[in-house]
Amino acid sequence: MVAMTKAESGFVVKQSGPRTLLQDHGRYGYHHLGMTTGGPADPLAFKWANRLCKNKLNTTALEISVGGLILESSVVAKIAICGANTPLTINGNTCSLWRSHQVKPGDIIELGFATEGVIAYLAVAGGFQVAESFGSTATVVREGIGGLNGGKLEPKDFLACGGDGATTITSDGNGSQSSNNQCLKLPKGYRPVYGHHAMLRVIPGYQQHEFSRYQQRRFFGNEYTISAQSDRMGYRLEGPAIQADIDGILSEGICLGAIQVPPDGQPIILMNDRQTIGGYPKIGSVLSLDLGQLAQLKPGDEVYFEPITADDAHNILHLADSYFNKIEPVLC
């Protein structure tokens, strides 16, 4: 038997793509220090990548924006890629997303550029081994914290992995696979479909009354386009301007999905890397479940909004969580 040591167990980044970040479920409990949450922009795809590797759902994985990532393995491991429709090859052979794959030392894993959607997640069985910063491995580039060095991955970076990701191999390579090495897939009927439009459900906030009924109808009755000036901090929208009856408010804490309306009237939906306080009026907050759909849209894609109540939001989230837990991956 030949065992991979922990020092050798992992992946070398050969090409990093436009923006590849290490993410776990996020950094909570530090807003009082001005530190934001971070975490996966599309939590559903992130959780499925981990689940197909039999990881805990908050295990550290790679968030790959647009694509263009190439890794070389130095370990026997299982990996899974979920999210945007991104061409995947292992040693030049075309492979499917939304399933796990076995890799071995010397294998080259390559993700092309996304054709539908924007963000994909690559998980490895046992997780990537990264030191936590303030209780999380989540990378927030604006704050320079998390991941390997507080920034996006660079060529020649080494991504250590362990646990199930650092298994043993037989000297002849013909050892039988145990159930732990069996690969899983999510059936097609359960996979998200990424397009160019999204309906975002909005819970009105206590500042809603600062927008007249006309302004509210204008907001909920029109489509908005994703601006090119959108990122993990916030998605800027372009469309019919809306105006509050006040110019601003005292700076206050901001939740994930809050819809700020600056003086130009073009809404901004605040995302995972948002600032922790702000002084623009907010017409409401996008349901957290819908933010993953938003994160998978490109500049020029369109969104529209539907108001729901807080009780509606609780019920929708509960049902979605129950549905996720009831879906069973199948053996490949």
Burial of 87 (C-beta count, 10 Å sphere; 0-12/13-18/19+) = middle
Flag whether pLDDT at 128 surpasses 50: yes
102, 30, 24, 27: which is closest to 56 by C-alpha? 24
Given this model, what pLDDT does residue 181 score?
A: 67
**What are the tens digits of pLDDT across the range 214-223?**
999 999 999 9
**Which residues have C-beta within 8 Å of that of residue 159, sequence separation ≥ 6?**
10, 11, 12, 13, 22, 62, 71, 128, 148, 153
Given this model, what pLDDT does residue 8 score?
A: 64
Work out the angle between the directed axes of helices 288-295 and 310-326 (0-180°, nearest 10): 70
Q: What is the mean pLDDT of residues 319-332?
A: 97
Flag whether pLDDT at 206 surpasses 70: yes
Residue in the block written with tokens 């909004």: 305
Q: Please tell me the distance from the alpha carbon of residue 63 to that of residue 123, in angstroms, as a whole number.
A: 9
Q: What is the mean pLDDT of residues 305-313?
A: 98
208, 213, 199, 222: which is closest to 291 by C-alpha? 199
Q: Please tell me the distance from the alpha carbon of residue 176 to that of residue 191, in angstroms, as a whole number.
A: 31
Q: Cβ(63)–Cβ(117) under 8 Å?
A: no
**What are the tens digits of pLDDT across the range 73-108?**
999 999 999 999 999 999 999 999 999 999 999 999
Q: Please tell me the distance from the alpha carbon of residue 224 to that of residue 242, in angstroms, as a whole number.
A: 12
CA 212 → CA 77, 208, 209, 236, 279, distances in Å? 57, 8, 7, 22, 19
Q: What is the mean pLDDT of residues 238-257?
A: 93
Q: Cβ(201)–Cβ(32) under 8 Å?
A: no
Flag whether pLDDT at 60 surpasses 90: yes
Flag whether pLDDT at 167 surpasses 60: no
Q: What is the mean pLDDT of residues 117-144?
A: 97
Q: What is the mean pLDDT of residues 106-135?
A: 97
Q: Cβ(58)–Cβ(37) under 8 Å?
A: no
Q: What is the mean pLDDT of residues 123-131?
A: 97
Amino acid, res. 117: G
SS3 state at 162? coil
